[in-house]
Chains A and B, each alone.
Chain A
Amino acid sequence: MTTAANWSIEGKNHERNFKSIMFLGLLWLSLFVAFLFLIILLVTTAMNGMGRYDIRLFTDYNNTTPADAGARAAILGSLFVVTVTAFMAIPIGIAAAVYLEEFADRTKWYNKLIELNIQNLAAVPAILYGMLTLGILTLLGLKNKNVVIGGSLALALLILPVVILTTREALRAVPQEIRDGSLALGATEVQTVTKQTLPAAIPGIATGTILAVSRAIGEAAPLLLLGALVFITYDPNGLFAGFTTMPIQIFSWTSAAQDEFKQLAAATSMLLLVILLSMNGVAIFIRNKFAKRW
């Protein structure tokens, strides 16, 4: 009997062999390691804060007696500073992105230079923005540099490149056909941007902007440089009022001697985490719910 070609398709499944399973196993292990440390961090912080998840965390000011101390000034400070930051960074960031994406002639050298710069600025360490702001405030002749407007300026400078980049990304995702259609109807370029391109890009812009602002909430370095590490026992009550924020309050309590302060720091950390996670959750929700698929 002559053996013809073997047309059998039976055999050991190659996708289930040792090598494939090893590879998959390694991937799972890496994921597990990353996840494990996150869980440990979360659980220990949550446990450390046990006993201080009470209303006084929100209502009481800082105090030299740990039992009487709360994070009220830090919470309000964070909200105030970040709101002012958003008001500074978002309009400027969106406007800059609209110029770069919709109006700038990309072949010109100065526009290329600006592009390159913004990409780089997004990667600059946060502390440098603190130093820059310190310099600006000194030039302006401000004696007390730990003021809300100063902190907001530093954070706004910090997130501005991120806002610009994500806005550009969102604008770029709007199909050219939409612009063509608008212009062909006799709309001006400004009308096309304000009535078509920008509204169509809003979900993407909102997502990117919320993520940028949540980065600002968690940031401590540039504010430390402005001298935000102070004992504040009043609500921030103006743009030139002194302030503290949650990351800075956490930092200050963590380095305190008494264990009760460390407990307080952990509780505040959990609060900060909850705020950040909910902001990111909102961003993801907006992206999934409103983002258009063209």
Chain B
Amino acid sequence: MTSDSQGLSRSMHLGASTRGETVHPIMELRNLDVYYGSFHAVRDISLDVGANQITAFIGPSGCGKSTVLRCLNRTNDLVPSARVTGVIDYRGQDLYAATVDPIEVRRRVGMVFQKPNPFPKSIFDNVAYGPRVTGMKLDKSETADLVEHALSKAGLWSEVKDKLDQSGFALSGGQQQRLCIARAIATSPDILLMDEPCASLDPIATSLIEDLMLELVNDYTVVIVTHNMQQAARVSDRTAFFSARVDDAGQRYGHLVEMDQTSKIFTNPSDSRTEDYISGRFG
């Protein structure tokens, strides 16, 4: 398996790696603040997401990393009381500008969730759902080709090609998660967000997904939230470390401590809090 050895060599040479040294930002977050009602949950986030790189968000629970991730495809909008200020520049456009259609954003920025959430439909229909609802005009054979392509990309084709009409629920947890990845890439997104995609998976399924991420980054930009620091170290090019703080009024909020090349964050972070966290002293 080439992807396996690739993943291994990448993590082994972490210290000397040059991955993530240069950034061609596809998304630039500037002074992003997120509110839930009157609760100012995340404050003043500025960071760049590099094109065709894996960006990892790490940090303790409640530090706002998932909240920031959900801003990147405007799924935070679906929380009724949520409000976002600041700028997310995506290819020269502000994601939160009034003229932007959030549906259009979500079609370009796909998302994979913590818990595998296949639809209660066949494996085929799970993958074909995105293209169908986004109005891609495909005939039967084009749809079949697209489904095969997406499932192959997600490394699932050989396992499911004979049971495409079976329910997505019939698959194992790891397979379900790869089905969800296939579903997300079937609409050919630009960026793929992953919110702790391996949190409910066993180590073998996890390593398959990690290999997959390293494959996907050739075609897509990947942003991953993870609690697993080894995972961030293994797969990501750049890592953003978030933490939680309490303000003068006693409100707990998330903020960005630092963001850098992953190899630097894990071997020589510039902030002592990052070092404390990755060495397991807190969080």
Interface size on A, residues (CB 8 A): 20
Q: Are A180 and B134 in contact (CB under 8 A)?
A: no
Which of A1-9, A136-144, A186-194 interfaces with chain B?
A186-194
Q: Is B130 an interface residue (CB 8 A)?
A: yes
Q: Are A184 and B120 in contact (CB under 8 A)?
A: no
Q: Are A186 and B134 in contact (CB under 8 A)?
A: yes
- Tell me whether A185 and B120 are in contact in the complex, defined as CB-CB below 8 angstroms, given that A105-B80, A177-B115 are known contacts: no
Q: Are A182 and B75 in contact (CB under 8 A)?
A: no
Q: Are A292 and B120 in contact (CB under 8 A)?
A: yes
Q: Which residue of B lies closest to A176 (CB)?
A: B117
Chain A residues with Cβ under 8 A from B118's Cβ? 181
Chain B residues with Cβ under 8 A from A181's Cβ? 113, 117-119, 180, 183
Q: Are A185 and B130 in contact (CB under 8 A)?
A: yes
Encode contact with A along B112-128: 1 for CB under 8 Å, 0 otherwise.
01010111100000000
* Chain A positions 193-229 with a Cβ under 8 Å from a chain B Cβ: 195-196, 199-200
Q: Are B129 and A184 in contact (CB under 8 A)?
A: no
Q: Which residue of A lies closest to B186 (CB)?
A: A185
Q: Is A175 an interface residue (CB 8 A)?
A: yes
Chain A residues with Cβ under 8 A from B110's Cβ? 184-185
* Chain B positions 120-153 with a Cβ under 8 Å from a chain A Cβ: 120, 129-130, 133-134
Q: Are B75 and A180 in contact (CB under 8 A)?
A: yes
- Tell me whether A186 and B113 are in contact in the complex, defined as CB-CB below 8 angstroms, given that A181-B180, A191-B133, A195-B129 are known contacts: no
Chain B residues with Cβ under 8 A from A183's Cβ? 75, 78, 106
Dominant SS among interface residues on chain A: helix
B115, B117, B118 pick with most chain A CB within 10 angstroms: B117
Chain A residues with Cβ under 8 A from B113's Cβ? 177, 180-181, 184
Chain B residues with Cβ under 8 A from A186's Cβ? 103-104, 106-107, 130, 133-134, 187
* Chain B positions 171-195 with a Cβ under 8 Å from a chain A Cβ: 180, 183-184, 187
Q: Is B73 an interface residue (CB 8 A)?
A: yes
Q: Are A196 and B117 in contact (CB under 8 A)?
A: no
Q: Is B41 an interface residue (CB 8 A)?
A: no
Rounded to whole Å, the gap between the CB of B282 and the closest CB of chain A is 31
Rounded to whole Å, the gap between the CB of A180 and the closest CB of chain B is 6
Q: Is A65 an interface residue (CB 8 A)?
A: no
Q: Which residue of B lies closest to A189 (CB)?
A: B78
Q: How far is the CA of A187 from the CA of B110 in the complex (A)?
A: 11
Chain B residues with Cβ under 8 A from A182's Cβ? 119, 129, 133
Chain A residues with Cβ under 8 A from B75's Cβ? 180, 183-184
A-B CB proximity, top 8 nearest: A186-B107, A177-B117, A184-B111, A185-B130, A187-B133, A186-B106, A181-B117, A191-B133
Further pairs besides A177-B113, A181-B118, A183-B78: 19, Cβ < 8 Å: A180-B75, A182-B129, A183-B75, A183-B106, A184-B73, A184-B113, A185-B107, A185-B129, A185-B130, A185-B133, A186-B103, A186-B130, A186-B134, A186-B187, A187-B129, A187-B130, A187-B133, A195-B129, A292-B120
Chain A positions near chain B (C-beta within 8 angstroms):
105, 107, 175, 177-178, 180-188, 191, 195-196, 199-200, 292
